[in-house]
Structure formats: structure tokens, C-alpha cells
Amino acid sequence: MARISYPDLQSLPQPHQNILNGLPNLNVFRMMAGAGEVFPPFMDFINAYLNNGLLEAQLRELVILRVGNISGSTYEVHQHERVARTEGLSEDRIAATKSPAPNSIYSDAENAALCMAEEIVANVRPSNATFEKARAHFSDGQLQELTIITGFYMMVSRYLETLDIELEDQEIEGSGLTEIRQVAEATTNSQ
């Protein structure tokens, strides 16, 4: 059970209700809807890299899962294992995110990204050697996105764990990415 109450949908501002009504029924979104004016840009930010990011979707999900595993966020890992499957990741590649990189199951580029993410989580800043290995595989924009996604999922994992946001009783179908994109587009069009 969450440490604080989920907000009552009817008590939320209408724009927040509209956003929440268009999203998959996930407890993280239900709770975040009560965080005030943080909620709309939070959803825009998620949409920006989940649906329009510079990193390949499977790599993005590997990084998110590794950060969630390091952070001990059961909720985050559970949700993104589902997303990873919809993006075509195999069970063994998903399971390998529970262990440190490098791992022979991953490509050199994937290992470079995962090692960089691990060092950001552990040390705030990756070593020069780790950064240069990643730089050999990724553009400047992709390196920025990798850094931002790592930091963002550190924050999300801590949010989920601090508030004890529990898994839903019923799984959603699919990844939820289409709904996130549609909400972001509707929000943009209504402004």
C-alpha cells in the first residue's frame, strides 16, 4: 500500500484529469497526477524520449531496466520488462539487466551504454574511459539522452520506492507508449 493516498480524480484540475484519462491505468501515473503542475511536463518529457528519442528503443529499455535494477525498484523493473518485451527484447536479454555489464549477451554498443549508466548511478559521473567507450558508439545527442534517461530513471525509481507505489492488480495490455504519445499530442494541440 502506498505511503500516501492516490489523489481523487475528481479533485484534480481538468487538464490533469484529461491527461490521466488518456493514459494506461498505471499507479505511477495515478500518483503523479496529484503532484501539481509537475504532472503535465512529466508526461511530455516521458513522451519525448519514449516515442521520439535518439536512442534505439531496445537500448533505451535495457538502460531503464539496468537503472531500475540497481535502484531496487520492483515497480519500475516490472513495468519496463513489459515495455521491453513489446520492443522485441528476449527474456534472456531482459534478465541480464539484473547483473552488471559488460555481459556477452549484449553488443559492444549496448555494453558501453550500460556501463556508462551503471557508473552514473554509482558515481554521478562516468570515468573518462567508460565515457570514451560510449562515445565510440553514440552521437553527442545520444550521449546526452543516455545521461538524461539514466538520471530520470534514478529519480523515478526513488519516487516509486519512497512512496511505496504498488503494482497494479491487473496488467495493462501493450507497452502504453501509444497512449502516452496520444496524450502528449492532445495536450500540445489544446494549448
> What is the tens place of the pLDDT at every residue in 125-171?
999 999 999 999 999 999 999 999 999 999 999 999 999 999 999 99
- Give the model confidence (pLDDT) of 116-137 as tens digits: 999 999 999 999 999 999 999 9
Over residues 36-54, the mean pLDDT reads: 94
- What does the angle CA 22 – CA 24 – CA 30 come to, to the nearest 5 degrees? 85
Let me know if residue 85 belongs to a domain. Answer: yes
| Residues 6 or more apart whose Cβ sits within 8 Å of residue 72 | 157, 161
Give the CATH number, domain containing residue 134: 1.20.1290.10
Q: How many domains does the chain have?
A: 1
Q: What is the mean pLDDT of the chain?
A: 96
Render pLDDT for 57-90 as a digit per residue (tens, 0 to 9): 999 999 999 999 999 999 999 999 999 999 999 9
- Whether 1 is covered by a domain: the verdict is no
pLDDT of residue 187: 80
CB atoms within 10 A of CB 117: 28
- Looking at per-residue confidence, does 146 or 184 come out higher? 146
- Candidates 22, 19, 5, 25; CA nearest to 168 is 25
For residue 3, being part of any structural domain is answered with no
The pLDDT, as a whole number, for residue 186 is: 86
Residue 173 inside a domain? The answer is yes
pLDDT(190) > 90 = no
18 in a domain, yes or no? yes
In the chain, DSSP finds a helix count (H) and a strand count (E) of 10, 0
Is there a domain that residue 2 lies in?
Answer: no
pLDDT at position 185 is 87
Please say if the pLDDT value at position 107 is more than 70.
yes
* pLDDT for 163: 98
List, for residues 3-14, the tens digit of each pLDDT value: 999 999 999 999
Please give the residue range of the domain that contains residue 107: 10-189
Q: Is residue 4 part of a domain?
A: no
- Please report whether residue 181 resides in a domain: yes
